């Protein structure tokens, strides 16, 4: 089975043991370029879905630790972040997620951290939440900061959807699935594709993968006042910036 991020936290002991080998430390460089290299010094930053402090893992990150706040649904990741970056602020957000926090609370509001943020950044967060959850969370986050930037994956960009389908499906089925017209889609366990739908979660897998894709055109229609930017630095994810 292909290793996905969720397996590193909720998979088998052997899968969890691989966590240190799958450290991604490019998120700061990604947002720094997408946002035009702002002066981060003294800026209060919320890393929404920041795992164990992903933005700070980049050695080039210039966000002061005392100005960094992280919210994530994985309590174990939050604990790791606190140990690694003791001067930063880590809060467990016990929000339900079908993959990463299936025992969480549905519709739990984003907590008020008592801070107005200069930047709220969310890397590969709304690629794992339903469309309905994404709209609601984005609305809440826009009330908490001046600039919100989050990523999304266009299924057609550089074969993004094809790449994931080919990991789990025979080639003939891949071609059948890709022949369907779509503005957005969700993919459950790499095999069940729901076009223009968030899908259903009636699978018995204890560690379900859930990936959501939105076309650039669809996101422009959903967020008409946003600046939509294409991937940079060799990444696969577009950026949606709201101010």
Structure tokens at 64: 């002061």
Q: What is the mean pLDDT of the chain?
A: 93
Reported as a single tens digit per residue, the pLDDT across 90-140 is 999 999 998 899 999 999 999 999 999 999 999 999 999 999 999 999 999
**Interval 10-34 mean pLDDT:** 87
Cα–Cα distance, 138 to 130 (Å, whole number): 12
Does 142 share its domain with 210? no
How large is the angle between the packed helices 160-168 and 171-178, nearest 10 degrees?
140
pLDDT at 36 over 60: yes
Does 118 share its domain with 230? yes
Q: What single DSSP character describes residue 111?
A: P
What CATH number does residue 64 fall under? Answer: 3.40.50.150
Does 51 share its domain with 109? yes
- In this prediction, residue 1 has a pLDDT band, given cuts at 50, 70 and 90, of low
Does 58 share its domain with 169? no
Does 180 share its domain with 234? no
Does 79 share its domain with 196? no
Q: What is the number of structural domains in the chain?
A: 2
Does 136 share its domain with 169? no
- In this prediction, residue 75 has a pLDDT band, given cuts at 50, 70 and 90, of very high
Does 172 share its domain with 68? no
- Length of the chain equals 243
Does 190 share its domain with 130? no
Cα–Cα distance, 8 to 216 (Å, whole number): 30
Q: Please give the helix or strand (H or E) that residue 194 lies within, else none.
A: strand 192-195
Identify the domain containing residue 9 by its residue range.
5-153+220-242
Give the pTM.
Answer: 0.93
Residue 6 is predicted with a pLDDT of 83
Reported as a single tens digit per residue, the pLDDT across 170-221 is 999 999 999 999 999 999 999 999 999 998 765 556 668 999 999 999 999 9
Percent of the chain predicted with pLDDT > 70:
97
Residue 4 is predicted with a pLDDT of 83
Does 17 share its domain with 128? yes
Residue 125 is predicted with a pLDDT of 97
Cα–Cα distance, 75 to 25 (Å, whole number): 20
Does 79 share its domain with 135? yes
End-to-end Cα spacing for the chain: 41
Cα–Cα distance, 9 to 191 (Å, whole number): 21
pLDDT at 62 over 80: yes
């Amino acid at each position: 089975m292909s290793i996905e991020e969720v397996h590193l936290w909720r998979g088998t002991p052997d899968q969890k043991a691989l966590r240190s080998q799958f450290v991604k430390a490019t998120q700061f460089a990604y947002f720094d370029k997408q946002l035009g290299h702002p002066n981060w010094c003294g800026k209060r930053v919320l890393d929404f879905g920041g795992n164990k402090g992903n933005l700070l893992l980049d050695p080039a990150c210039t966000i002061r630790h005392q100005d960094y706040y992280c919210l994530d649904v994985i309590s174990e990741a939050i604990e790791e972040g606190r140990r690694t970056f003791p001067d930063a602020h880590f809060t467990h957000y016990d929000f339900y997620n079908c993959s990463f926090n299936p025992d969480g609370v549905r519709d739990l509001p984003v907590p008020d951290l008592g801070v107005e943020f200069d930047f709220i950044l969310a890397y590969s967060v709304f690629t794992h939440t339903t469309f309905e959850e994404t709209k609601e969370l984005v609305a809440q986050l826009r009330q908490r900061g001046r600039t919100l930037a989050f990523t999304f994956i266009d299924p057609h960009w550089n074969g993004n959807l094809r790449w994931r389908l080919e990991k789990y499906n025979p080639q003939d089925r891949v071609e059948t699935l890709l022949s369907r017209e779509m503005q957005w889609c969700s993919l459950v366990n790499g095999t069940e594709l729901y076009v223009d739908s968030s899908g259903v979660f009636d699978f018995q897998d204890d560690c379900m993968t859930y990936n959501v894709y939105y076309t650039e055109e669809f996101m422009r229609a959903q967020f008409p006042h946003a600046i939509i930017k294409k991937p940079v630095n060799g990444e696969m994810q577009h950026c949606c910036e709201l101010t």
